[in-house]
Amino acid sequence: MSTSRILITALVASLAACAGPRMYNRTQTAVSPAGVSASTLQERAALPLRGKCIVVDPGHGGKDPGASAVDGSREKDHNLTIARLVAQQLKEAGATVFMTRSSDKFISLDDRAAMADRHHCDLFLSIHADAASNPSARGATVYRARGAQAASSECGEELLVALQQAGFPHRGLREAGFRVLMGHSRPSLLLECGFLSNTSDAANLSDPHWRARISNAVCRGVIAALRG
C-alpha cells in the first residue's frame, strides 16, 4: 500500500472517531420546537418560580398583636404561622424569599415596605387576618394598593382564582391605602385570610390542616401569576 493511501485511510478513521461522540451527544439532548432543551423545560416545571424574588410579610408582631380572635388567639401569631408555610412552599417552587419578620418581633410599616424596594422583589405579599363588628362576616379578602400597577392586579386575580378553586370563600379583590402596599414601587398584595371575629373562620385559622390548605392555594396563585 502506498504512503498516500495509508495517510488517507488514517485520516478517514480519525474523522469517524471524532464524529461519533458528537452524533451521540446530539441524540442525548432533546430540543423543543422553540429551541428549549427538555431538561430546561423539566427544570421550569419543577421550579416554576426560579429567578423570582418574593417578600412575605407576616402582619403585626411584637408589641402589636393585631386583632384578637373569639377563641382568644392573636392575629400576629396566625399571620406568622401561615406566612412561614407560604414562604416555605414558595422556596420549594424555586423563588428567593425574604420575610419581614420570622419571629414575634415588631417591625414598622415603613421598614416592611422598604424591603420590597431593597430586594427589588417581583411581589410583596402581606399576610393578615381580619376582624369586624359583624360576627357573620367571613372569608378571605385580597387587597391591592389604590391605583395599583397592572402586575398587582394580575397577581390578585390569580390569587382569587386559586382560593376559589381550593374551595375557600372570598370577598374579592379590593383597593386600600395600606402603607405596606403604597410605601414602595413593587407589585404588592395584602391577603386577609379570614375573620377572627367569626367563630368558623377563627377555628379554621387555628387548624393546621386548614392553614396548610390555604398556604398551598396562595402558593399556586403566586405561581400562576409569576411563572416564566
C-alpha cell at 75: 392575629
DSSP annotation of 12 reads H
Q: Which residue of the set 43, 75, 175, 192 is catalytic? A: 192
d(CA 54, CA 226): 10
d(CA 148, CA 185): 10
d(CA 135, CA 160): 23
Q: Which residues of 130-162 are buried (b: 16+ CB within 10 A; e: fewer)?
A: bbeeeeebbbbbbbbbeebeebbbbbbbbbbeb
The yes-or-no answer on residue 43 being catalytic is: no
Residue 40's SS3 state is: helix
Q: Dihedral sign, CA of 81, 187, 55, 185?
A: negative
The catalytic residues are 192
